[in-house]
Chains A and B, each alone.
Chain A
C-alpha cells in the first residue's frame, strides 16, 4: 500500500495499478469510457483527465490521463480543480456532439455509462448546432442490436470482440469522424461471446435484441443473484424479471468464475422460462389423457402412486439443484436413486469427479486465464464449456507477456503490450477429433479419436515422468509432438491440462489425470481442469446415485413399478426402444419445466420451477457450490422441485435451509454447500436484500387491471432476499448481490463500487464454496491407463475403412436442452448431422448436406451428412442436439447408406 493525495487528501492505494483504477477503488468519481477493468487502458477517450502536481508547491499542475498514469508513492492529483474539470466537460461535449436525441427509445437508457458520465461531468446543454453524422445499421443476428448513431468511438467493442475474445468478423471501418464499428456486411456475429458487447459498450450502440422483444428498463427489473444453468462452468448471472416473465440475463461479476463476461448461450438461453409450451399446471392422467388438476389433487395422486408402489426408481437430474436431487433421494431412498445424466456421460462425470478428488487442484476460470501453457485433450471447449474458451484465449497471452515484463511495461497498458506481443502466443495444444475454434490460437493441433488423444497424453506424461510406461502403438509423429509439448509444459510456470466429458471417453479423463499428475511432479503449480456437461453434473455425481442403465434395468425387471423423474427427459438418456420397453406398464411421476416426451408420458405431472423460480445450489466443474435464488415467485401450480418432493415425502421442510441441514447430516461431504450463501435468517441492518430497485415502478398499477386492491408482496421464507423494493439496497455479501447499482452509476460499471479493488473479489465475502479438496477423498491415484479398453473400434491413425467411430460434436447453440427452447438461440442451432471426413464421405458416395440414416445401437437417426475436412479418416462426429433421439457415444457404426432422396 502506498499513499497518494487526491485533492490534498491522503489515500491508501495499491501499488502497481493505474491511477484510474486507484481512484475508482477509493470510491471516488472519475468519468471514463475506453478503460475496462478486464481489458486495461488505451487512453483513447481522454475522458479520465486529472491534474497531476509535481509536489506540494506546484499550483499549476498538468493534465494527464488517469488510466495511463501509474500509481506511485506520494502522487498528487486533483479531480476537482477547474482545469481538469473543464477539460473533462469539453471532452464529453465533443463526444456528445453527434450523439442522437434517442435516450427515450434507447434500450441502454437508465443503465447507460454515457448518461452517467455526462451527468457526472455536468454537461447539460448541447452547443453543437450543425447536422449530426449518422450511420446505417447492420443486422448483427438474433442476439445483438446495432444502432451506430449512438457511437462515441471509445473502441471498447473492437477491443473486446477482436482482442479479448479473438473473433475476426468485426472491426473498425472508415476514417476520421465517421469510423464505423461493425462487420464488413450484415450478418450474425460469429463470436460465442458477442452478447458481451451489450455490456461492454458504454452507450446504446449494442443492445440486447432479445430484451428488445419485451423491453424493460433496468430499474423495473426484479433481479436476484443466479447461476447459469446452460453448461457446467457455473457462471454467475443476474436474470431480470418483469410482469412474470424473464426479460434478460446479465453477467454477475465473480472474481474467480466468469469475471465480467458471459457466453451467448448463458446470456440468451433464458427464454425457455417464458415458453408457452412449458408445463405450468399440475396434471393427472385420467382415461389415458393428461388432464389439468389442482396442485393438491396432483400431489395427492402422486403420493398415492408413490405410496402404493411395489418398488420405486427416482431419476435425478444434472440440471436440477443439489437440494432437488437430494429431496428425490430422500423420497425414494438412496438405493433407488439414479442419475439422470446419459449413462455414457455419467461414467465420464464420475471419472472426472474421481480425478478432481485425486488432484492436482483444479483451477477456477480466473486461474485458467493466468496459466501460461495449456493442453486441451479431446475437448471442443468453445462449444462444450464456452467461457473456458475465453479463459484459454487470455492464457495464451500470458507467456508472451513476459516480454513486456522484461521491458518494464505495465501489463495494464493494453496498447503497448498488444503491440509488443503481436501474434506471439504461449504454448497451447489442441488435441481433438475435429477442428475447434481454438485451433487458430494453438501452437499445436492434433486430430484423432479419443484413443489417439489418450496415447498422446500418456506419451507426454511419460516424457515428464520416466516412471510411467510408454503407451502402446505410439507412432513417430505423435511421439515427437509429445516430446515437444512436454518440453513446453515443463518450462511453463503454471501449466494446465484441460479435458472433460466432451469426448465421452473415460480413458481420456484418466489420461488427463495421469498427465496432470506427471506434470505436478515437475511443477507443483500444474492444474487439471475437467469439463462436465450440465450445470449440476458434478453435484449429482457427488450425491452418488446409480447409473441410469440400472434404472432401466430395475424398471424392466419389475423391481420398480413407479418412477419419479426429476427434471429429466428419459428419452434423452437412452434409446427410445429401451426407454419405452422399460416404462411399459409402469407408473410415472414427472417433475419438470420443459415440455418433452417424458412429460407427455407422465401419469402425474408436477410443474417444476426453473432456475428463475427456484432456490438451490449447483456444483460446477471445479466443485464449487454456488447458490441461485428465485428471481420471481412461481405462478399458478408451479413450485420448486424440492418443495414438491418434500411435500411428497411428507417432509414439509419449512425452507431451503431445512433441506440443506438434512443434506449436511445425510451427506457430510456436501455439508460445506450450506455455506454457499447466507441463510434465510440473514439480515443486514435488520433488512432482507431487496430484489427490486428503489426506483421499481408501477407497484400500484401492475395488477390493477385484475383488481385495484394491491396484493401483499409474496413471502420468501427460503432466502435472505425479498420480492419487494423495501429492503437493503446497499452492498450485500457477494452471494446476494441482486444488481450492480450505486448512486451516480446506473450501468454495469457500478460494479467497481462492489469490488474490493479493480478485478478483485466482491466486497462482503466470497460467493460459493469449493466442495472438493484434492487428495482428501482417499481416491487412489491411477498412474497409468490401459490404452486398450478403447481399442475395440478402429483406431484413428490405424485406418480401418469398414467401420466408423462416432464421437460427439457439441454445439453452443443446440446441445443444451433448456437453451434450445429460446427462439433466438434455437435459430442458430445446426440441423441434426453426421460429420464425415472427406475420404469416408467419398467412399460412401455422400455429398454434403445429403440426407442419410445412421444406424446406431438400438436407434436409427435421420441426419444430414456434413463433410469436415479436419476429421481423420475412420472418425465421424454426431452433432449433439437437444431433442434428437439418444444414442450411446462413442459408437461404432457402419458407414451410412444414402437415405431416401
Chain B
C-alpha cells in the first residue's frame, strides 16, 4: 500500500524534472562519431579513391543492397567502375564498414536522407564519394599492399625489400 503511494508520489515528482525529448528539427541532435548513418566512400590522404573494389562490403551486406564492378587503371590500380547502394534497402548495420579492408566505405552521422520517391534513394559512386579520408585519416592501403600501382613500384611499399634478383646465387 505504502509502496503504491510512494510510486505515485515519485512519478508525480517527475513532473518537475527536465524533459529529455530533443525537439529535433528545431534543435540540433548530437550524434557520436560512430553513429551509423549515410554511407560514403572516402579518399586516401593522397586524394586517390580508397575503394579497391574488393566486393567484401557487397558480400557482407545482409540485405544485398551494394553492387559494384571492379576495374583497373593502366597501372593496375583497382577501383570501382560503378558503385551503387540502394539506400531504400539499407539497414545501416555497418557490416560493410566492418568488412572494408581499406577504410573506404564509412558510415557517417548524417541521417537526413529521406526522399519522396524510392528511386532517389539509389546512390551511385558520384553521390557516395567524398573528398577526404573520413574517420580514418592517414591510412593508405596501397602503401601497405604488395601490388604495384602508378607511383609505387614493386618493393616500395612499407616493410618491403627491393625486388630480389632471381639471377643471383649470392646469399
Bound together, the chains give a CA A700 to CA B118 distance in angstroms of 13
Chain A residues near B130: list those with CB within 8 A: none
Q: Can you list, as one digit per residue, whether each of B106-122 has a CB less than 8 Å from chain A (1) or not (0)?
A: 00000000000011011
Q: Chain A contacts of B84 at CB under 8 A?
A: 701, 704-705
Q: A102-B147, A109-B54, A217-B55 are in contact. Are A699 and B159 (CB under 8 A)?
A: no
On whether A104 and B56 interact (CB within 8 A), knowing A133-B161, A708-B122, the answer reads yes
Instruction: Say how far B102's CB is from chain A's closest CB, in angstroms.
Output: 6
Q: Separation in Å of the B71 CB from the closest CB of chain A?
A: 8
Given A134-B146, A698-B64, A698-B67, does the pair A104, B141 have CB atoms closer than 8 Å?
Answer: yes
| Pair B119/A149 contact, Cβ less than 8 Å | no
A700 to B68, CA, bound (A): 12
- In the bound assembly, the distance between CA atoms of A135 and B72 in angstroms comes to 21
**Which A residues lie within 8 Å of B53 (CB)?**
215
A149 to B89, CA, bound (A): 40
**CA of A642 to CA of B99 in the docked complex: distance in angstroms?**
45
Min CB distance B13 to A, Å, is 50
A133-B101 in contact (CB<8A): no
Please tell me which stretch of A60-68, A175-183, A653-661 contacts chain B, meaning at least 4 of its Cβ atoms lie within 8 angstroms of it.
Answer: A175-183
Contact residues on A (Cβ < 8 Å of other chain), bracket: 35 or more
- How long is the Cα–Cα vector from A243 to B119 in the complex, in angstroms? 20
Find B155's partner among A130, A134, A173, A708 (CB 8 Å cutoff).
A134
Are the C-beta atoms of B146 and A102 separated by less than 8 Å? yes
Q: What residues of B have a CB within 8 angstroms of the CB of A135 in the complex?
A: 154, 163-164, 166
Known pairs A135-B164, A174-B164, A708-B121; A697 contacts B72 (CB<8 A): no
| B144: chain A residues within 8 A (beta carbon) | 101
- Which residues of B are found within 8 Å of A105, using beta-carbon distances? 52, 54, 78, 145, 147
- A214 close to B (CB within 8 Å): yes
Contact in complex: B164, A134 (CB < 8 Å): yes
Contact, CB under 8 Å: A701 / B89? yes
User: Given that A176-B171, A701-B84, A708-B122 are known contacts, is A102 also in contact with B145, CB under 8 Å in the complex?
Assistant: yes
Interchain CB contact (< 8 A) of B86 among A219, A696, A700: A700
Alpha-carbon distance A135/B154, docked complex (angstroms): 7
B162: CB under 8 A from chain A? yes
Q: How far apart are A96's CB and chain B's nearest CB, in angstroms? A: 13
Q: Which of B63, B145, B169 contacts A175 (CB 8 A)?
A: B169
Would you list which residues of chain B between 76 and 101 have a CB under 8 Å from chain A?
78, 84-86, 88-89, 101
**In the complex, what's the smallest C-beta–C-beta distance from A494 to chain B, in angstroms?**
42
The answer, among B59, B68, B102, B146, for a CB contact under 8 Å with A695, is B59
Instruction: Give the docked Cα–Cα distance between A63 and B103 (Å).
Output: 42
How many angstroms between the C-alpha atoms of A698 and B86 in the bound complex? 9
Q: Which residues of B contact A130 (CB under 8 A)?
A: 159
The answer to whether A220 and B101 touch across the interface, beta carbons within 8 angstroms, is no
Interface check B46, CB cutoff 8 A = no
Whole-angstrom distance from the CB of A411 to the nearest CB of chain B?
A: 33
Query: Is B122 touching A705 in the complex (CB atoms < 8 A)?
Result: yes
Fill in one digit per residue for A120-147: 1 if any B CB lies within 8 Å of its CB, else 0. Answer: 0000000000111111110000000001
Q: Is B7 an interface residue (CB 8 A)?
A: no
Q: How far is the CA of A182 from the CA of B53 in the complex (A)?
A: 28
Contacts of B157 in A (CB 8 A): 100-101
Asked whether A700 and B89 contact (CB < 8 A) given A102-B145, A175-B169, the answer is yes
Binary interface encoding of chain A residues 665-702 relative to chain B, with 1 for a CB under 8 A from any of its CBs, else 0 = 00000000000000000000000000000011111111
Q: Inside 8 A of A709's CB, which chain B residues have their CB?
A: 118
Known: A132-B159, A697-B66. A217 touches B146 (CB 8 A): no
A629 to chain B, nearest CB (A): 24
User: Contact at A134–B86, with CB atoms within 8 Å?
Assistant: no
- Name the contact of A697 in the complex, choosing from B61, B70, B147, B148 (C-beta under 8 A): B61
Query: A100-B146, A105-B52, A212-B72 are contacts. A697–B59 as well, Cβ < 8 Å?
Result: yes
| B-contact 0/1 string along A471-483, CB 8 Å cutoff | 0000000000000
Give the distance in Å from the alpha carbon of A374 to the alpha carbon of B86 in the complex.
Answer: 61
State the CA gap A341–B55 with chains docked (Å): 44
A133 contact set on B, CB distance < 8 A: 161, 164
Which listed residue (A149, A220, A701) contacts B154, Cβ 8 A?
A149
With A and B bound together, what is the CA distance between A217 and B155 in angstroms? 27
* B161 in complex: contacting residue of A131, A217, A705, A708, CB < 8 Å: A131
Chain B minimum-CB-distance residue to A701: B67
B128 at the interface (CB under 8 A from A): no
Q: Which residue on A lies nearest to B117, using beta carbons?
A: A708
Check B64 against A701 for contact (C-beta < 8 Å). Answer: yes
Shortest distance from the beta carbon of B123 to any chain A beta carbon, whole Å: 9
- Give every chain B residue within 8 A of A698 (Cβ-Cβ): 58, 61, 64-68
Residues of B within 8 A of A695 (CB): 59
Q: Give every chain A residue within 8 A of B169 (Cβ-Cβ).
A: 174-175
Question: Quick check: is B167 within 8 A (CB to CB) of the other chain?
Answer: yes
**For chain A residues 154-208, which have a beta carbon within 8 Å of chain B?**
173-176, 178-180, 182
Complex CA distance for A673 and B73, rounded to whole angstroms? 48
A4 to B144, CA, bound (A): 47
A142 to chain B, nearest CB (A): 16
Cβ contacts A to B, 21 pairs, < 8 Å:
A100-B145, A105-B52, A132-B160, A133-B164, A135-B166, A137-B148, A178-B165, A215-B53, A215-B71, A219-B59, A220-B55, A696-B64, A697-B67, A698-B64, A699-B64, A701-B84, A701-B85, A704-B65, A704-B67, A708-B88, A708-B118
- Give 16 new A-B contacts, CB below 8 A, not counting A110-B55, A698-B67, A701-B65: A103-B54, A104-B101, A105-B78, A131-B161, A134-B146, A134-B160, A135-B154, A137-B148, A149-B147, A149-B154, A215-B78, A697-B66, A699-B64, A705-B124, A708-B86, A708-B88
7 nearest A-B residue pairs (beta carbon): A100-B146, A180-B166, A698-B67, A104-B54, A697-B58, A174-B166, A701-B67
